[in-house]
Homo-oligomer: A and B are copies of this chain.
Amino acid sequence: MKRTLVAWVEDRPGTLNRVASLFRRRAFNIESLTVGHTEQAGTSRMTIVVDGVRTDSRKVEQNLRKLIHVLRVEDVTERPAVLHDLAMIKVTTSNGTRSEVMQIAETFGGRIVDVGLETLVVEATGPDERIDRLVEVLRPFGIAEMVRTGRVAMACDEDSRSGRRRSGDG
C-alpha cells in the first residue's frame, strides 16, 4: 500500500539535496516526490509517496525529522485527505477523432489546454488511479507526450462534511 507523507521544510539551498541523499543512502523506495511553495514565504512543502510494501514509511518519517531545515513531517495516509496529481497528456488526433477525445477528457473532468492540427493537450487533476484510467482510455488514439506532477496531499478538516472518507488512494 502506498503511504503519503507531507514534510514542511525551510526554503534553503541544499534541502532537496539532503532529502534525496537520505533516500538514496537508506535505499528508501519512493514512488513520487513533489516540492512547492506554501502559504508562508520561506517554507516549502514536500509530498512524498512511499511504496509501503518495500519501505517502512515510519523509518522515512523518523529520518526526515532528523534532517536540518525539516520543520514538520506528517503521515496523512490514515486521515481523510484529498490526494491529487496533475497530468498534461498530448494526444494524437485527426478530424475524425478530435471530438471523441474532447468528450473523453470532459467525462474525466479534464480540460483541453491546447489544440493543434495533429494533437491536442488534455489537462486533468484527480486521484492517481483516475488519471491512470484516463491515460488508458486515451492510449489507443496515440499518446505523443505526457507529464505528471506526482501526488500532492491536503488533509481534510476533522469536521469535514464532504461525506467521503478520502478522495484518491493507491
Contacts and interface: CB of A to CB of B under 8 A. Distances in A.
Given A121-B154, A125-B125, A159-B116, A20 B13 contact: no
A interface secondary structure, majority: strand
A27 interface: yes
Interface string A107-119: 0000001111111
Interface in A86-142: 86-90, 113-119, 121, 123, 125, 135
Contact of A21 (B21, B113, B152, B160): B21
Nearest to A38: B146
A156 B37 CA distance: 26
Contacts of A14: 24
Q: Classify chain A: how many residues form its interface, as a range.
A: 35 or more
A124 to B, nearest CB: 9
Contact of A88 (B32, B113, B147, B152): B152
A151 to B, nearest CB: 9
Stoichiometry (number of copies) = 2
A86 B17 contact: no
Interface string A145-166: 1111110111011011110000
A16 B37 contact: no
Contacts of A17: 17, 20-21, 23-24
A94 to B, nearest CB: 13
